[in-house]
Structure 1
Amino acid sequence: MHPENSRRAAPVTDAYSLEVSAKDMAALTAAAPQIVPGSTISIPYLANQDNAARLAAAQAVRGLGLEPMPHLSARRMTSLAELESFVQCAVAEAGVRQCFVIAGDPSTPAGPFPDSASLIETGVFERSGIQVLGVAGHPEGHPAMGMSDGWDVLQSKCRSIEQRGMRPLIVTQFAFDADAVLAWLQTLRERGVHHPVRIGVPGPAGVAVLARYAALCGVGACASVWSKYGVSIGKLFGTAGPDRLVDRLAAGLTEAHGRVSLHFFPFGGIAQSVSWIAQYRTRAA
């Protein structure tokens, strides 16, 4: 890491969040002593986990002195009553103050909600006491809509959240190309969207594992992007960490990019990601 990058890296690594599923609470508990107290733990909405498991995970996160942020998948939500019940229980039983809304993978909704905007419009979140509502950002473009439509939808959701008395938060899909992320951030701010952004970063993992997740999530990973990330396309058996990506983000971010922090996807395991973050923060201090 270059010295000039280290000086700039501290702000972007001072606050971070982690994506941890309900089944990984034991691993999170083991790693918790290394995690900055109060850090946000984002709990994804996975099809093979029920609401009871998600609620228990939020309670476990709160018990560790961390901030739970459960995801709500619009197309997997069967009814308004289910949405209300989960959000109200999360607030009452786990002290949840922030949620993250997504459309979800199914092409056909299981209930009345076709997209994340329809969840926001129910009014359930502000009535239940949610203070921060997260929405997804896509630096490489939305998989289901054009770039122009994607910007319009993102801005519309942020306005709706603000009008309902909550604070919008934008959390992006993970990426390997820092230059693409920086360009997206610049456009976001030029369009007048100044809400906090958490940039998705893959935690250290096997290169083959990273490639598999990239394919599943529609993330660009051509040879030139892999090279920027520090991976040789001919060597898929090693491991790779996000050092170059985070260095480049830290070096490229300016005040004009607004409030930006990192959101880690621990594809190689929670312990590995948390250890990497702690070491990087020490070097950057």
Structure 2
Amino acid sequence: MAHIDPAHQSPAVRLLENFSLEMTGKDVPGLEEARDAIPQGSKINVTFLGNEDLEMRVSASKAVRDFGFVPVPHISARRLSSQGQLEEFLGRLQEVGATDHVFSVGGDPATPEGPYDSSLAVIETGLLQRYGVKEVSIAGYPEGHPDIENDVLWRHLEAKSAALKEQGLDAVILTQFAFDTDPVMEWITAVRDRGIDSQIRIGTPGPAGIKRLLGFARRFGIGANAMIVKKYGFSLTNLMGTAGPDTFVNDLSGLLADPDTAARTGGTDNTKLHFYTFGGLKATADWANQFTARA
């Protein structure tokens, strides 16, 4: 990504600086293809999906580090069958230098496969620091969660933030992807009003096919009605096309740059972007470079 004098950066470019990306355990070839388009030192999250195994997750995290990026492996609490499995995973990640940053998330299974029913339960074990973890990302849900009440989400966010602070660990709040800036801004403000000052990374999809984007939105309970997708920058009448986050990034950065809002939320200094790479790592990295060049 081209370097621009901070004094001349647009709010959108400042928001896009130091973006992070997401990949699955199967995406190592895609990462290799995209490596020259991604700024060195970028954070790259590595998923913990049900169709992946330990070797795949560890190998992907190692590849991220070997290519000059910062691995952020996911720890899916409800997919862990035992404390032993958690420690084995953390131990293997530590061997490849991939435990400085992790993302502790609840995970999909309706019934936990072991002793951890939430990401908070994993944090409260105190095991993360033992394996070299310095920073923990935790989940945020600007548009809510289809299976969890909002008051529960807020209680857990506050409890996780407090537990990490007590343990001397840095925290980052990483959100589910969103299409609409209005609930995102309301949620950011609500986070700050609760006294939580951790960096927030707002999740948004990288460029991808519209049908694919809408499929993921439905799966995760994200609002995808006609008004919202129009605000994001695509039309429900053209499902064969592709869409990128240009409009979303421009609108969100403009809102964050408002002096009153920036004073209350930390603005683009304390809010960054996390890209869900539904259309591929290279397509997302190329989009980011092109967007910066145009801005």
Q: TM-score, normalised by structure 1?
A: 0.95
CA distance in 1, matches of 2:43, 2:164: 19
Using the aligned pairs only, state the percent identity: 39
Q: Does 1:262 align with 2:273?
A: yes
Aligned residues: 280
Which residue identity does 2:265 align to in structure 1? H
Deviation readout 1:67-93 (Å, 9 max, x if unpaired): 001101111101101101211221222
Aligned residues of 1:14 and 1:281 also touching (Cα < 8 A): no
Q: What's 1:235 paired with?
A: 238
Aligned residues of 2:145 and 2:221 also touching (Cα < 8 A): no
CA shift in 2, pair 1:108/1:149, >3 Å? closer
Name the Cα RMSD after superposition: 1.3
Q: CA deviation at 1:266?
A: 1.0
Q: CA deviation at 1:6?
A: 6.6
Within the candidate set 114, 117, 124, 1:111 is matched to: 114
Q: CA deviation at 1:262?
A: 0.4
CA distance in 2, matches of 1:142, 1:209: 20
Q: What's 1:187 paired with?
A: 190
Q: What's 1:216 paired with?
A: 219
Q: What's 1:161 paired with?
A: 164
Q: What's 1:62 paired with?
A: 65
Q: CA deviation at 1:158?
A: 0.8
Deviation readout 1:165-223 (Å, 9 max, x if unpaired): 11111000000001211111111111111100100010111111111110111111011
Stretches of structure 1 lacking an aligned partner (at least 5 in a row): none
Which residue identity does 1:46 align to in structure 2? L
Q: Does 1:280 align with 2:291?
A: yes
Moved more, 253-262 or 190-199: 253-262
Q: TM-score, normalised by structure 2?
A: 0.92
- Counterpart mapping for 1:83-94 below 5 A: 83-94=86-97
Aligned residues of 2:145 and 2:220 also touching (Cα < 8 A): no
Which residue identity does 1:83 align to in structure 2? L
CA distance in 1, matches of 2:172, 2:130: 18
Q: CA deviation at 1:253?
A: 0.6
Q: CA deviation at 1:10?
A: 2.0
- Counterpart mapping for 1:4-19 below 5 A: 7-19=10-22
Aligned residues of 1:75 and 1:110 also touching (Cα < 8 A): yes
Aligned residues of 1:55 and 1:94 also touching (Cα < 8 A): no
Stretches of structure 2 lacking an aligned partner (at least 5 in a row): 1-7
Q: What's 1:45 paired with?
A: 48
Q: What's 1:150 paired with?
A: 153
Moved more, 164-173 or 227-236: 227-236
